[in-house]
Amino acid sequence: MQIFRLLVIAAAIFLTGCAATGPRYAEVEASFPTLRSGYGRLIIYRSGGLGAAVQPDIKLNGEIIGKSQPNGFFFVDRAAGKYTVSARTEVETVLDTELVEGRTTYVQSSITIGLFVGHPRLTLQSENAAVQHLPRLAYTGGIPVAPRTPRAKAVNNTAAVSADERNRPSGPVTLDDLSGLLPPAR
C-alpha cells in the first residue's frame, strides 16, 4: 500500500510538470497583433485530458508551428487559403482546413489512447466552443505577447504616428521589430 501511494504521488508530480505555463489567454488576447490584409489566424489549443506527457509537434503544411501542450494554446497568422494541420506520435493525424481573410480558425488538439503512446487528435471547433476553453489556457507560442497590453489600433491620423513608424519599411516582421516586445535581459 505504501508503494502504491508513492507511485501515485510521483505520477501526480510528473504530470503536473507537463502542463503548459505562461500568461493565460484572458491576459494576452488583447495584445494579439492585428491581422494583416489577406491573412487569417489559426489558434490551436489543448485543454488537458489524457496523455499529459505526450506533447507532439503541430505542423502546418509540414512546418512545425508549435507543440500540443496540455492546458496551452498558440496561434499563427498565415495568408488566407487551404492548409493541412498535422501531429504525429506513433500515428499521424491530419486535418484539412481553410483560413479565411480576417477570421480566426480554431483547432482543438487532444490525445487518445494508443498502443505504445497516445495518438494525437485534431478537431475543428467553432468559436463558441473554443471560447469555453481558451480563457484558462496558457500561451505557449513563439510570438511575443504581453499580458494586459491593449491591442494596437489602426491610426488614421498620420500626425499621431511617430516618425519611426512612418519611416519603417513594410514587409515581414523581423526579430528587430519584435525586440521591443521582449522583457529586458536579466
Contact 41, 145 (CB under 8 A): no
State the chain's maximal CA–CA distance in angstroms: 73
Question: For the segment 37-84, what is each residue's pLDDT rounded down to a tens digit?
Answer: 999 999 999 997 778 889 999 999 999 999 999 999 999 999 999 999
Confidence band, pLDDT 50/70/90 cuts, at residue 157 = very low
First to last CA, the chain: 47
Phi, psi of 154 (to 5 degrees): -65, 135
The more confidently predicted of residues 53 and 182 is 53
Examine the pLDDT at 175 and tell me if it is beyond 70. no
Place of cell 505504445: 116
Q: Tens digit of pLDDT for each residue in 93-147?
A: 999 999 999 999 999 999 998 888 889 999 999 999 999 999 999 998 877 665 6
